[in-house]
């Protein structure tokens, strides 16, 4: 039976202390009481060296991975994954071309769970393994390695200044301890949930102050032990999909041809460069600017899916907005948003979208408390209803997505 090396990857520096464990058991057996889980810490480069000839499973911070779902008229996972970036692009401030999408198994209601993470982040995680020619068998968000049962309690893992929470089969969040109760209330949406807290041997925290039904599971020495003992591959999402699924194999076949390809590419570029005229360069710049203008237009008016004459369509939308159409609430909602943010400083606007009479705001900041003040402000001001679509907190700050809906006077 092949040994498995489990790694908790928090820092990709070669000398970063990295938790790991060698387990002599089948990682696919679904056994929740895997024996022989002894966690140690070594510099990352030494840990990766242990992976030679072994199956390597890497747990990465769930705070860097967005978990969501998608429903499309397709049953094949490959087709769903192709459609997911276009269906979900309105949820992200980033360009979807910079994001990596991974898919889980089809759910009973026909939806598919999706994990989204920046391509640059995945490249950073895999870089030290690729450099050492060690193949990673699975790259798993730590959130989805916590225990989960349908209709069961939410799982909570306190870990080194963070609270990691799994509140659904394919959902969860992470936050700093000071924001835990507030973020918990936002996630519960008015209905308290029972909690299963996985407690370390040296954790003396009084969790009864949470005033919720509690199930304490004490006795582990290191958070990685929890992830190893409770991880079920069928209940998680492996991020190594699409371009990352056979990365090492592709590199191995490509390597002998790399030098010849570089020489051919250089010769081609020189040949093209000698024949490029200023007119071609200007046409490209105009085309690029036109593409940016069309992208901004689609973001602001997502229902306008076909663009024939951008100038004419912009004029038409402005006339509609000024003439009292169904989208005429844009100005009122933007005014409410501007007033609310001005009266409650501490949040930075990253992206804004308006569709079907609703204004969506992507914000970032340093403190979740300002979100609570913003909710109170909107409750006392007529004209717009505030809903929190998502709120994530970590040591780098908070990211919030809000929805503003017009309210009749």
Instruction: Tell me the pLDDT tens digit for each residue of 173-222.
Output: 999 998 999 999 888 888 889 999 999 988 888 988 888 899 999 888 99
Domain ranges of the chain: 278-321, 329-406
| More confident of the two residues 394 and 170 | 170
Residue 40 has φ and ψ, to the nearest 5°, of -130, 165
Render pLDDT for 31-72 as a digit per residue (tens, 0 to 9).
444 556 899 999 999 999 999 999 999 999 999 999 999 988
Query: For 268-272, 305-309, 314-318, which range has the lowest pLDDT when averaged over its residues?
Result: 268-272
Class of the CATH domain delimited by 329-406: alpha beta
> How do residues 282-312 score in pLDDT, each as one tens digit?
567 667 777 777 776 666 666 666 777 776 7
pLDDT tens digits, residue range 318-360? 555 554 444 456 778 888 888 888 888 888 888 888 777 788 8
Q: State mean pLDDT over 1-8.
A: 87
**Residue 299 neighbours by CB distance under 10 Å:** 16
Given a cut of 60, is residue 269 above it in pLDDT?
Answer: no
Q: What is residue 368's predicted lDDT score, i.e. its pLDDT? A: 82
- pLDDT band at residue 142, thresholds of 50, 70 and 90? very high
Q: What is the DSSP letter of 346?
A: S
CA distance to 175, 338, 393, 395, per residue, from 371 (Å): 15, 14, 12, 17
Q: Return the pLDDT at 27.
A: 45
Considering 146-150, 215-219, 373-377, the range whose residues carry the highest mean pLDDT is 146-150
Q: With a cut of 70, say whether residue 274 has pLDDT above it.
A: no
Average pLDDT of the chain, as a whole number = 82
- Enumerate residues 6+ apart whose C-beta is below 8 A from 276: none
Q: Which whole number is the average pLDDT over 131-148?
A: 96
* pLDDT of the residue at 248: 44
Residue 252: pLDDT over 60: no
The residues pairing with 164 across neighbouring beta strands, listed in sequence order, are 157, 174
Nearest to 194 by CA among 143, 165, 152, 251: 152
**Among residues 55, 225, 234, which one has the least CA distance to residue 138?**
55
Assess whether pLDDT exceeds 50 at residue 223. Answer: yes
pLDDT > 90: what percent of the chain?
37
Task: Find which of 19-33, 100-114, 254-268, 276-290 is predicted with most confidence, using mean pLDDT.
Answer: 100-114
Indicate if the pLDDT at residue 270 is higher than 70. Answer: no
Distance CA 65, CA 101 (A): 10
* 162-175 residue pLDDT tens: 999 999 999 999 99
């Amino acid at each position: 039976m092949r040994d498995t090396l489990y790694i908790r990857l928090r820092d990709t520096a070669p000398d970063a202390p990295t938790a790991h464990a060698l387990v002599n058991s089948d990682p696919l057996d679904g056994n929740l009481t895997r024996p022989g889980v002894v966690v140690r810490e070594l510099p990352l480069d030494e840990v990766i060296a242990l992976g030679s000839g072994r199956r390597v499973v890497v747990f990465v911070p769930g705070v860097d991975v967005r978990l969501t779902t998608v429903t499309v008229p397709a049953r094949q996972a490959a087709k769903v994954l192709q459609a997911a970036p276009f269906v979900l692009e309105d949820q992200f401030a980033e360009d979807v071309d910079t994001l990596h999408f991974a898919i889980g198994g089809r759910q009973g209601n026909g939806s598919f769970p999706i994990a989204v993470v920046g391509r640059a982040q995945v490249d950073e995680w895999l870089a030290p393994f690729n450099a050492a020619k060690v193949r990673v068998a699975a790259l798993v968000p730590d959130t989805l390695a916590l225990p989960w049962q349908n209709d069961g309690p939410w799982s909570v893992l306190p870990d080194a200044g963070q609270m990691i929470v799994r509140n659904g089969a394919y959902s969860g969040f992470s936050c700093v301890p000071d924001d835990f109760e507030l973020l918990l209330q936002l996630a519960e949406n008015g209905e308290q949930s029972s909690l299963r807290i996985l407690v370390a041997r040296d954790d003396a925290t009084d969790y009864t102050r949470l005033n919720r039904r509690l199930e304490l599971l004490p006795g582990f020495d290191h958070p990685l032990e929890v992830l190893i003992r409770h991880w079920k591959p069928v209940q998680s999402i492996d991020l190594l999909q699409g371009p990352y699924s056979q990365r090492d194999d592709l590199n191995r076949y490509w390597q002998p041809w790399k030098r010849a390809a570089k020489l051919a590419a250089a010769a081609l570029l020189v040949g093209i460069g000698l024949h490029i005229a200023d007119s071609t360069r200007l046409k490209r710049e105009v085309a690029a600017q036109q593409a940016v203008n069309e992208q901004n237009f689609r973001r602001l008016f997502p229902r306008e899916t076909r663009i024939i004459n951008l100038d004419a369509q912009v004029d038409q939308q402005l006339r509609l907005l000024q003439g009292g159409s169904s989208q005429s609430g844009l100005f009122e909602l933007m005014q409410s948003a501007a007033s609310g943010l001005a009266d409650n400083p501490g949040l930075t606007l990253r992206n804004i979208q308006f569709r079907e009479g609703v204004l969506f705001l992507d914000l970032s900041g340093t403190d979740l408390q300002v979100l609570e003040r913003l909710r109170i402000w909107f409750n006392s001001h007529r004209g717009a209803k505030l809903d929190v679509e998502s709120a994530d907190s970590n040591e780098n700050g908070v990211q919030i997505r809000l929805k503003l809906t017009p309210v009749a006077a």
